[in-house]
Amino acid sequence: MKPLLRLHDLYVGRVVFASVLLAWTVLVGLDVVMALFGEAADIGKGRYGIPEALAYLLWTIPRRAYQLFPTAAVIGSLMGLGQLAASSELTALRALGLSRRRLSLAVAAALALLTGLMVLNGETLGPWGNRRADAIKASARSNDLIVAQYSGLWAREGEMFLNAQTGRERSAGDDHWLELREVRLYRFDAEGRLQSAAHAASAEHRPGGWLLRDVRRVHFGERSVREERVAEERWASRLDATALTASVTRPRYLRSDELRRSIEYHRRNGLDASEFEEVYWGRWFYPLNVLALCLAAAPFAFGALRSGGLGKRLFLGIVFALGFWMLQEQFVKLASVYRFDYRIAYLLPPVLLLTVSVLLFKRRSG
């Protein structure tokens, strides 16, 4: 039985792998340096100094690496294949009977491992690191981090509207929960009339719902008003801490499961979920984007990159990456405006790019 990967596949993959890592390191490094200059305007506010700025940037590196990997992949692939083409190694491999398709698959296999790691990073370390970074920055700039994070929070669950003035995430041992303070709950009937207004000193998110403490509620009847007070009551609501956090957190910093729950929450209450859907489906199509970019650039290695230096390869890589992201962004904006499925918007650009790649392969084979 023939091995799935042969020696020439490993050699091509190693060259491309090294080139992608080099391009990736340079891009992430430049992005961090530029971000550091951007943070200079905030240094000196409160306790936010250079050590805090460096810590903030350090925690954002996983997210930056995730965002820049597709661009680094196409630039690195062009650089690696261009290096092989310039040294006539691709010509030698073709003379041994390797097809362009086989060489392209070797490139895709080399990138599969990094792509898988970035997908995992985008669901774990990236969002968590960015939250840590935001917490470090906010706590250093303000002595009241929680007020800054949750002040004026509004949420809806069915006919119930919630407003919380302050809040914080609390923990005791392995137990973690969200606590909101100065909570107001407004319940309306189907015709939009106010049925009751309640004020709770605090609301803690617990399994199965919310625990309200020191509640004062006013009921509005057709011709009467009744007030009641209770020391503690449970609110069996599907409104969870994730949905509340998502209301004040940028969707691109959430995990896919948090995005999905936020989408369900917005749809359940008749709210616009397009911002979360855009990010959610972008995560699913992330691997396809990397594959499409690299395979579309591969045909140039068999001709355009044979003569030409590093500058030419970088130029083509940047043009490919920017052109693709601009095209995809336009499709996503069209989906947002005309309300068609985001999956179609994310699928069309890579399909078009792969079609162009196939046509270029056939043309160069002719």
Interval 329-335 mean pLDDT: 89
pLDDT digits (tens, 9 = 90+) for 132-146: 887 777 667 654 444
Rounded Cα gap, residues 195 and 328, in angstroms: 47
Calculate Rg over the CA atoms of the chain.
27
Is 161 in contact with 235 (CB distance < 8 Å)? no
What's the chain's length in residues? Answer: 366
Q: In what order do the strands lie in the sheet with 225-235?
A: 153-157, 160-172, 175-188, 194-206, 209-220, 225-235
Tokens of 305: 């990159």
CA neighbor of 71 nearest in space, from 330, 312, 322: 322
Interval 184-199 mean pLDDT: 90
In the predicted structure, residue 366 carries a pLDDT above the cut 60: no
pLDDT band at 147 (very low <50, low <70, confident <90, very high): very low
What integer pLDDT is reported at residue 145 of this predicted model?
A: 44
pLDDT digits (tens, 9 = 90+) for 308-327: 555 666 676 677 777 888 88
pLDDT digits (tens, 9 = 90+) for 40-95: 888 887 778 888 889 999 999 999 999 999 888 888 888 887 777 777 776 677 66
Q: How many CA atoms lie within 13 A of 59 on its CB side?
A: 17
pLDDT band at 152 (very low <50, low <70, confident <90, very high): low
In the predicted structure, residue 217 carries a pLDDT above the cut 90: yes
In the predicted structure, residue 198 carries a pLDDT above the cut 90: yes
pLDDT digits (tens, 9 = 90+) for 3-23: 455 666 677 778 888 889 999
Interval 334-353 mean pLDDT: 89
Residues 6+ apart with CB under 8 A from 156: 162, 269, 271
Tokens of 6: 């042969």
Is 112 in contact with 9 (CB distance < 8 Å)? no
Mean pLDDT across the chain: 79
Interval 111-131 mean pLDDT: 89
User: What are the extents of the domains in the chain?
Assistant: 7-124+277-365, 149-254
Rounded Cα gap, residues 311 and 118, in angstroms: 27
pLDDT digits (tens, 9 = 90+) for 23-33: 999 999 999 99
Is 276 in contact with 287 (CB distance < 8 Å)? no
pLDDT digits (tens, 9 = 90+) for 220-242: 988 889 999 999 999 888 776 66
CA neighbor of 136 nearest in space, from 73, 50, 256, 67: 50
User: Taking each helix axis from N to C terminus, what angle separates 50-86 and 7-39, rounded to the nearest 10 degrees?
Assistant: 150
What integer pLDDT is reported at residue 216 of this predicted model?
A: 94
Tokens of 239: 């409104």
pLDDT band at 150 (very low <50, low <70, confident <90, very high): very low
CATH number for domain 149-254, candidates 2.60.60, 1.10.760, 2.40.50, 2.60.450: 2.60.450
pLDDT band at 149 (very low <50, low <70, confident <90, very high): very low
